[in-house]
Each structure stands twice: as structure tokens, then as C-alpha cells.
Amino acid sequence: MPRYLVFTDLDGCLLDSRTYSFDAARPALERLQSNHIPVVLVSSKTRAEIEPLRRHLNHQGPFIVENGGAVFVPSGTFDFPMERARRRASYQVIEFGTPYAMLRDVLKQIEDSVGTPLLGFGDLSIDDIMELTGLSREAALLAKLREYDEPYLVRGPETIAAEVRRQIIMRGLQWTKGWRFFHLTGLNDKGQAALKLLHCYKRQWNMDGEQHEVETVGIGDSLNDLPLLLAVDHPVLVQKPDGSYDRDIDVPQLIHAPGIGPVGWNHAILDLLNLAA
């Protein structure tokens, strides 16, 4: 039997897009825990946002922040030193992203170039973020503590939005899109970070001298999950709040989960585990 490793997006996926609840996914989460299958959280959220969620989820494993900006691995997860990692509090951290201050500078340069206001998280008040996302005040404060990724909104026609994206690429950076915002990032993504962790898990599991087959599952709902879905063996797409699937996701052997957010998440995981049994 192969070993399994699950990578999952959070907002609109494991977490309900409106209530941020994961109750609908509890049966699958409990099944994964009982089968000792690691779950890696992969999000556009900040480390400060993910840490309280980990406590609610009783999550003990690694997590990936800000669209692959960095991998945070709790100390003691692996029995070997991780390459390129540095110690930060109780974590080993591997950074892939561009520092946030540089991203803010680039966004302002592009704003001047296109002559249209670009509203980044750094420009928004806590009240603005609460209104746009439905987050509580405390959660909105944590969402502002960004290190590698600048979410932004374009106030203008699609031609302006396309020009912004063109200028981002011209400057050697990347853009992607989540459910609510575009994101300006460095040359990092969720798939790159997931593959780094997959390498570490394979090394850990093979330390007993056996070569264990490892199968990966990736679950997402938006364009920023595309690199992750391309990197895994079993890519899963859950439905958006209106019941649709993101049309920008085109991945071989894509599994369309029958349900919105955590409902679809739960169905997909239980179906895959039943097939593997």
C-alpha cells in the first residue's frame, strides 16, 4: 500500500467561504488522522492567520503560506536538517518568496504607470478588509501581517487589469488569483513549495531502508491552486459558493468534487480513501 500525503487550500475549500467553518469536513479529517495521513495546509493566508486555524484544526504538520512564499515546518517533523531552512521560533522555515516591501514598491510603480488606483492590502484599512472578506476584526489584523504576497484589487475595466498583469510579468514577478483578490508574488507558487515538502516526506519515510510509494492529493478551488493541482497525483477541484467550478483550472485527471467548499472536500477525501482501502 502506498503512503498518502494531502495538500489543501483553505478559504473556500477546507474552510467555508462565508463562515470559515470546517465542520462539514470533519468526517474526512478524522479518517485521515486515524490513518496517520499528513495534511499540509497550503494557503494565500499569512503565517499569523494560519496559526490560530491550526489550533482549531488540531493540526500538527507543516504549512505553506502566502501562495508558496514560505514553508513552515514544526521542529521535530523530520529527522534530518532541511536544506535552505532557517530556524524561526518553533519552526524550520524555507523561504521562496520576494520580501513584501519590494512587492509593495512594484505595485506602486505599476499604479503610476497605468494611471489607475491599485488597492493592495497595504492600502486597505482593517474595516475595508473586514467588509471585503467577511473576516472578523482580529482575523483582518492577522491578514495584514504579510511577508511574501500582496493581494490587490483593480478599480477599472478588464483592459487595465490585463495591463497590470502584463507589467507584473515584465518586471520579473508573477500574479495569480484567489477567490476575492489578485495576488502579486515573486517567482514562487503553491506547487513548488508542495514538491519541496513531498521530497522531505519521502526522505523521512524511506529512512527505514524501504522504498515507500507515495501518492499525493491536492485540493483547491481557484486559479492560485493550479500549480498545486499540477504537482500532485490526485488533483481535486471543489465547487465555488455558486456551485460552479473555476473555469481557469484545466488539469489532467482532475477530480470534480461533488460539493461546495468543505462539503466537496469531505466527499473527495472519503471517496479516495475508500478506493485505496
Query: Which tens digits make up the pLDDT trace of 95-121?
Result: 999 999 999 999 999 999 999 999 999
Position 166 pLDDT exceeds 80: yes
Catalytic one among 9, 16, 149, 221? 9
The DSSP annotation for 141-183 comes to HHHT--SSEEEEEE-S-HHHHHHHHHHHHHTT-EEEE-SS-EE
Q: Is the pLDDT of residue 15 over 80?
A: yes
Mean pLDDT confidence for 36-53:
97
- To the question of pTM greater than 0.85 for the whole model, the response is yes
Asked if 177 contacts 223 with a C-beta cutoff of 8 angstroms, the reply is yes
Predicted local distance difference test score (pLDDT) of residue 1 = 73
| Alpha carbon distance 92, 69 (integer Å) | 14
Q: Hunting for cell 529512512 — which residue is that? A: 207
First to last CA, the chain: 9
Mean pLDDT of the chain: 95
Q: What average pLDDT score do residues 112-136 get? A: 93
Return the number of other C-beta atoms located less than 10 Å from residue 254's C-beta.
Answer: 15
**DSSP-derived pairing of the beta strands 91-95 and 86-88:** antiparallel
- For residue 16, the model assigns a pLDDT of 94
In Å, how far are 61, 64, 209, 270 from 273, measured between CA atoms? 20, 24, 26, 5
Active site residue 9: yes
Whether the pLDDT of residue 27 is over 80: the answer is: yes
Contact 173, 106 (CB under 8 A): yes
Q: DSSP letters along 84-109, please? A: T-EEETTEEEEE-SPPHHHHHHHHHH
pLDDT band of 29, cuts 50, 70, 90 = very high
Closest C-alpha among 159, 173, 189 to residue 69: 189
Grid cell for residue 148? 511574501
Kindly state the cell numbers that stand for 110. Answer: 505599476
Tens digit of each residue's pLDDT (9 = 90 or more) over 180-200: 899 999 999 999 999 999 999
Is the pLDDT confidence value at 179 over 80? no
